[in-house]
Chain A
Amino acid sequence: MSRRVVITGLGVAAPNGVGIGNFENAIREGKTGIRFQQELKDLNFSCQVAGKPEISQEILNNYFTPLQLRGLNSSGIVYGMIAGVDAWRDAGLDISGKESVDWNSGIIFGTGILGVDKFREAIHLIDEGKTRRLGSTSVIQTMASGISAFLNTRLGCGNQVTTNSSACTTGTEAVLMAYERIKTGKAVRMLAGSCGDSGPYIWGGFDAMRILPQKYNDNPGGACRPMSATAAGFVPASGAGALVLEDLESATQRGATIYAEVLGGHINSGGQRNGGSMTAPNIEAVQRCIKVALKEAAVDPKEIDVINGHLTATAMDATEIRNWQQALGWGGSEFPIINSLKGMTGHCLSAAGSIECVAAVLQLKHNFIFGNVNAEDLHPEIEQLVGRDRIPTRTIEKQVNILAKASFGFGDVNAVALFKRPG
Chain B
Amino acid sequence: MESNEIIYCLKKIVAPYVQNEPAFENFSRETDFIKDLEINSANLVDIVLDVEDEFNIAIENEAMDNMLTVNDAVKIIKRKQEEG
A: residues with CB less than 8 A from B are 66-67, 70-71, 132-133, 135-137
Contacts and interface: CB of A to CB of B under 8 A. Distances in A.
Nearest to A136: B42
A136 B17 contact: no
B16 A136 contact: no
A137 B46 contact: yes
B16 A133 contact: no
Contacts of B16: 66-67, 70
B interface SS class = helix
Contacts of B57: none
B45 interface: yes
Contact of B43 (A132, A133, A136): A136
Interface string B41-58: 011011001000000000
Q: Which 8 A-B pairs have the closest CB atoms?
A: A136-B42, A135-B46, A67-B16, A136-B45, A136-B46, A66-B16, A135-B49, A135-B45
Nearest to A70: B16
Contacts of B45: 132, 135-136
A135 B42 CA distance: 9
Nearest to A98: B19
B46 A133 contact: no
Contact of B17 (A67, A71, A133): A67
A134 to B, nearest CB: 9
Nearest to B15: A66
A142 to B, nearest CB: 15
B56 to A, nearest CB: 14
Contacts of B49: 132-133, 135
Nearest to B58: A132
A135 B49 CA distance: 7
Interface in B18-62: 42-43, 45-46, 49, 61
Nearest to B64: A132
Nearest to A139: B42
A70 B61 CA distance: 23
Interface in B55-76: 61
Contacts of B61: 132
B14 to A, nearest CB: 11
Contacts of A71: 46
Contacts of A135: 45-46, 49
A133 B46 CA distance: 9
B51 to A, nearest CB: 12
A137 B43 CA distance: 9
Nearest to B16: A67
Contacts of B46: 70-71, 135-137
A66 B17 CA distance: 9
Contacts of B17: 67
Contacts of A66: 16
A133 B43 CA distance: 13
Nearest to A137: B46
Contacts of A70: 16, 46
Contacts of A136: 42-43, 45-46
Contacts of A132: 45, 49, 61
Given A71-B46, A135-B46, A137-B46, 4 more contacts: A70-B16, A132-B61, A133-B49, A136-B43
Nearest to A133: B49
17 contacts: A66-B16, A67-B16, A67-B17, A67-B43, A70-B16, A70-B46, A132-B45, A132-B49, A132-B61, A133-B49, A135-B45, A135-B46, A135-B49, A136-B42, A136-B43, A136-B45, A137-B46
